[in-house]
Amino acid sequence: MSCRLLILISAVAVFAVVSGTVEETARDIIDALTHAPFEEWSGVFIATNDRIRIKVIRSTFFVPNSSANGYGGNDRQKVAAYHIVSERLEFADLLSKASQSRLPTLLTGSSILVTNNSGSGFTVDGVLITEPDMFVDSFMAIHGIAVPLDFKTYGSERRL
């Protein structure tokens, strides 16, 4: 009897730990990025995408060059959400995407446009990927980009 009770208590404890939703995790990540300068985004993203508590979203993250820190203003939360693609894509996976294809982001109704899919000049939203595969694991891929992506110009098919 005590063994069954221990198993039941363990199962309840595990369920409580993993019950966070993907939406909650995404919200936590976006909130953390909103308050961090670009040069800290990569570390903040990895730390917030919490594997210990099983609150991980499979994703691709585009980190702008730190020299662009003044970008975003009041739209900083939207800017952060727009830099996260809701699937894990290593650079080799990105290269297989057709030019003009779209990558869905965590910014509702917005997607990043693949504007050049050549290996030597791969661009998304017209922005060069300067450091492909900065960090890659089984859950996420992080790529460095020259400047922040512009969701207002490229974010939806209707805008182009």
- Residues 57-96: tens digit of each pLDDT: 789 999 998 665 555 566 888 999 999 999 999 999 999 9
Q: Given this model, what pLDDT does residue 157 score?
A: 66
Residue 93 CB neighbours (<10 A): 12
Q: Which class is domain 2-159?
A: mainly beta
pLDDT per position as a tens digit, 20-48: 567 787 888 888 888 788 888 888 888 87
Q: Is the per-residue pLDDT at 135 higher than 60?
A: yes
Give the helix ranges, DSSP H, for the chain: 2-18, 22-34, 38-48, 76-82, 91-95, 151-154
Cβ contact 144:120 at 8 Å: no
User: What rounded mean pLDDT belongs to the chain?
Assistant: 80
pLDDT higher at 122 or 43: 122
Lowest-confidence segment of 4-8, 21-25, 49-53 by average pLDDT: 4-8
